Structure 1
Amino acid sequence: MATSARPQTGSETHTGAVLLVTASAALGGFLFGYDTAVINGTVDAIEDEFNMSSGLLGFVVSSALLGCAVGAWFAGPIADRVGRVRVMLTAAIIFGVSAIGSALAVGPVSLTAWRVVGGLAIGAASVIAPAYIAEMAPANLRGRLGSLQQLAIVSGIFVSLLIDYVLADSAGGASGQVPWGGTAWRWMFASAALPALVYGVLALQIPESPRYLVKKKHFTQAREVLQRFVGGDTELRIREIRRSLAGGDQAVHLSDLRGPRLGLLPIVWVGILLSVFQQFVGINVIFYYSTTLWQAVGFSEDSAMLTSVITSVTNILTTLVAIALIDRIGRRPLLIIGAAGMVVTLGTMAVCFSTADGSGDDLALGPVAGPIALVAANLYVVSFGMSWGPAVWVLLGEMFNNKIRATALAVAAAAQWIANWLISTTFPALADVGLFLAYGIYTLFAALALIFVLRSVRETKGRELEDM
């Protein structure tokens, strides 16, 4: 491709090449989504297998998130020292090992331990993927390419739920024996080793981030990567990166994020709150516990699993809508539209479940409230999938300057995993009281998220990372 000193346009960038490498990096999101949903098909089976209370079940289900928070926290500083690609490769190996360990678990303790180990890998991948994609992508494509992270997450959810459904169907339930031997729920966990292997192989094929290479003063390698995958005036781009990194070639520490607003830089707080609100609206409850929820609506186990698969397909389609819109209308409008939609749909679900009969495993919705709740849940997924799902990851990858990006993103991602853990751990107890309470709380947080975006989130569409 020709080079020039003019700003890049889509025709001047090596779109196909950069799409391939960013899609490979985004596969870390596939692991995230796969692990998020693989537990969905196993929840009732492991509860019976290990005779767990609802509180213990909630902890085991969400235990991976503790590892995710730790993995995310350390991934940024480590990636600044050893590179983005090496962290991806390490994450793939750890996740593959944890998948086999979870499949061989002999009780709640060992299952929890292996899921925490897997969480370390997922947390690291959740930081590295958006950072790497943002650092590889041209400004005019960054929103769409950054959204690949969310597309990979929801695709992982879909594939995981589909495999859960097939395994449960072949065994007559998640607790049953599959025809080739072994319990279905154990094979559900073991199946996660395959995407980990693919992620590791692809991580060996992609180049290091040019901004990391410039930071380490590997200018020749950075120039080659920019010429091959980005195009345009590579010398100008390297000069801009060096300018943005002025004084930032030293190791970045958490202390570098300190600022005047409650001890942190204001932009770091924006990243943290975006992450927390993304989880506090309760989206992962749909994917961790959706089979159990739809049994409450009146579906059998098999039908409830199939409904979960359909919900995940909805999530994929809405993410594709977001990819088409995010570089056209911007990140902030998508967040506003999505938050408003979630307020309405979550509020509808809260009202529907307030009319439910029974509680816990005996919860049942009436012939009118049941279908309305089902429709509202899927519209809620639409609202989230076309907005807060992809847009938050895009913003986290691009909103921080080159000096602090990996470290600030690590802090924001760690906050996201902790928020995810809080929501997932408290849901079973809230559900025992009444699902109307859970969905009512999530409605409140959706409303707060809307107010937060209107007051504090700025648009980043079309801006170069060096201008952040």
Structure 2
Amino acid sequence: MALQGSTINQGKTVSYVILIASAAALGGFLFGYDTAVINGAVSALSKAYNANSVMTGFAVSCALLGSALGAFVAGPIADRYGRLKTMLVASVFFTLSAIGSGIAFGIWDFIFWRALGGVAVGMASVIAPAYIAEVAPAHLRGRLGSLQQLAIVVGIFVALVCDYLIALGAGGSAEGIFWFGVPAWRWMFWTEAPPAIIYGFAALVIPESPRYLAAQGRYAEATNVLTKVLGGNVEAKIEEIRQTVLRERRPKFSDLLSRSGGLLPIVWIGMGLSILQQFVGINVIFYYSSVLWQAVGFSERDSLLITVITGIVNIVTTLIAIAYVDKFGRKPLLMLGSIGMTVTLGTLTVVFANAAIDPATGNPTLPGTAGIFALLAANLYVVFFGFSWGPIVWVLLGEIFNNKIRAAALSIAAAVQWIANFLVSTTFPPLLKYFGLGSAYGLYTIASAISIFFVAFFIRETKGKELEEM
């Protein structure tokens, strides 16, 4: 009978952890939504503001500069004011950005609102993995940490579906007129406001991180939260956290420096993970895929539909990662993903490098089987990224840093990730225009090949380890 009661209590604690981790991961949903919602609006946006390729690239990627700023400041804010207050600030910024992007009168005020949304994305990209890692039991941490990436890809998918449906309702184009005589592309941005508000309400009802509470000397509250999360007697765990978290002063960025004055090796590893996750070119698929597929001959409607299918593939493969990350470990999945991405990106490089050029548009054409072959290779690339570098990087960034430096180190790693994302996203339109898709995908192939050696030599397995062991 006692065993049955213990099993029931354990089930309650697991359910509770999943619930609060999912609420925190709403930030990931908005992260994905905000970064992908512009996909269907790129062409219409460019025409509405009469922007050239460079300006269009900047309008798309300006949010990433805001994301770098948001990621950089999120750690200190989270350490000073708590994880939940940081989530609330991000929620407000998401909401304002969604409304402002839709009512923008010119390219520059549009850029401002997108950058504000980027700050929110950056904050969410730091706080969600940190919070989830700090509330999750060790045996569930990989799967719960992967919720961040699942939320991101679901956010991407929902944004792409909304773009597709809105464009469909406006005659198949984002330039068409939708509800109340307003162009469809403006409605695409406004659809982000409801989930942004829900995220704010979620931050008001979930508990604060027990490790943050312990760092503030609020042991009774930390004990209460850990009891709900772990069940049973948690006094020993509280003492273990106290020994690793409490310091005479607040955490500072100087904690990331080694005795020789440079950054700690683990911080460099976190930055390397972030840079390579972006340099393999994944966000070209999600920011520009509808433009890309139009460039090789698909209609705007079909291109948006292909992008939605890609979003579904991304969700399915992320679910695979969640199922197996705590079974197979982080390093094997990263290695398999790196090899698969190198092969598929290499295939895309060869296909696009040998594509015929349409003299009327200057775009590559892939008629018949060549187009289908490229489509399959692109989606297989998403598969390999989706079960490896997509979710596992966020899991590792939440795990590899010790309690003393976690928030600050995550801020640095996430900021670097957004800068890398900005570089890739901003350079893609000029690369497409002046050098062709073959050259662009060739660069991403090189990055994927480098990632194989990075995983082999620098990544240590963290499966099953407590955060206090890091």
TM-score (norm 1): 0.96
Could you tell me whether the CA contact under 8 Å between 1:355 and 1:365 is conserved in 2? Answer: no
Please list the CA deviations of residues 38-83 of structure 1 after superposition, one character each: whole Å capped at 9, or x if unmatched: 0100000011111111111101100000000000001001100000
Could you tell me whether the CA contact under 8 Å between 1:12 and 1:232 is conserved in 2? Answer: no
Alignment of 1:324-335 (within 5 A): 324-335=323-334
Q: Does 1:177 align with 2:190?
A: no
Question: How far, CA to CA, are the matches of 2:346 and 2:460 in structure 1?
Answer: 27
Could you tell me whether the CA contact under 8 Å between 1:13 and 1:230 is conserved in 2? Answer: no
Structure 1 unmatched runs, 5+? none
Could you tell me whether the CA contact under 8 Å between 2:266 and 2:401 is conserved in 1? Answer: yes
Deviation of 1:12 after TM superposition, in Å, equals: 7.5
Question: How far, CA to CA, are the matches of 1:261 and 1:146 in structure 2?
Answer: 33
Alignment of 1:339-358 (within 5 A): 339-358=338-357
Map of 1:439 onto structure 2: 441
Deviation of 1:293 after TM superposition, in Å, equals: 1.1
Question: How far, CA to CA, are the matches of 1:384 and 1:58 in structure 2?
Answer: 24
SS at match of 1:204: helix
Question: How far, CA to CA, are the matches of 1:318 and 1:333 in structure 2?
Answer: 15
Alignment of 1:45-194 (within 5 A): 45-172=44-171, 173-194=173-194
TM-score (norm 2): 0.96
Map of 2:311 onto structure 1: 312
Map of 2:464 onto structure 1: 462
Identity across aligned pairs (percent)? Answer: 57
Paired letter, 2:457: R
Please list the CA deviations of residues 95-133 of structure 1 after superposition, one character each: whole Å capped at 9, or x if unmatched: 101110000111111111111111111100110000000
Could you tell me whether the CA contact under 8 Å between 2:215 and 2:246 is conserved in 1? Answer: no
Question: How far, CA to CA, are the matches of 1:239 and 1:463 in structure 2?
Answer: 18
Distance 1:262 1:367, change over 3 A: farther
Identify the range of structure 1 (373-382 vs 172-181) with the bigger mean alpha-carbon deviation: 172-181
Question: How far, CA to CA, are the matches of 2:179 and 2:122 in structure 1?
Answer: 35
Paired letter, 1:178: F
Deviation of 1:252 after TM superposition, in Å, equals: 1.4
Could you tell me whether the CA contact under 8 Å between 2:352 and 2:364 is conserved in 1? Answer: no
SS at match of 1:298: coil
Q: Does 1:216 align with 2:213?
A: no
Question: How far, CA to CA, are the matches of 1:246 and 1:253 in structure 2?
Answer: 13
Question: How far, CA to CA, are the matches of 1:181 and 1:88 in structure 2?
Answer: 35
Question: How far, CA to CA, are the matches of 2:431 and 2:176 in structure 1?
Answer: 29
Could you tell me whether the CA contact under 8 Å between 2:241 and 2:468 is conserved in 1? Answer: yes
Alignment of 1:385-464 (within 5 A): 385-432=386-433, 433-464=435-466
Could you tell me whether the CA contact under 8 Å between 1:253 and 1:407 is conserved in 2? Answer: yes
Could you tell me whether the CA contact under 8 Å between 2:214 and 2:246 is conserved in 1? Answer: no
Paired letter, 1:204: L
Q: Does 1:243 align with 2:243?
A: yes
Map of 2:200 onto structure 1: 200
Please list the CA deviations of residues 142-169 of structure 1 after superposition, one character each: whole Å capped at 9, or x if unmatched: 0000000000000000000000000101
Question: How far, CA to CA, are the matches of 1:351 and 1:59 in structure 2?
Answer: 28
The number of aligned residues is 462
Paired letter, 2:200: G
Could you tell me whether the CA contact under 8 Å between 1:99 and 1:193 is conserved in 2? Answer: yes
SS at match of 2:357: coil
Deviation of 1:401 after TM superposition, in Å, equals: 0.5
Could you tell me whether the CA contact under 8 Å between 2:10 and 2:231 is conserved in 1? Answer: no
Could you tell me whether the CA contact under 8 Å between 1:296 and 1:363 is conserved in 2? Answer: yes
Paired letter, 2:334: L
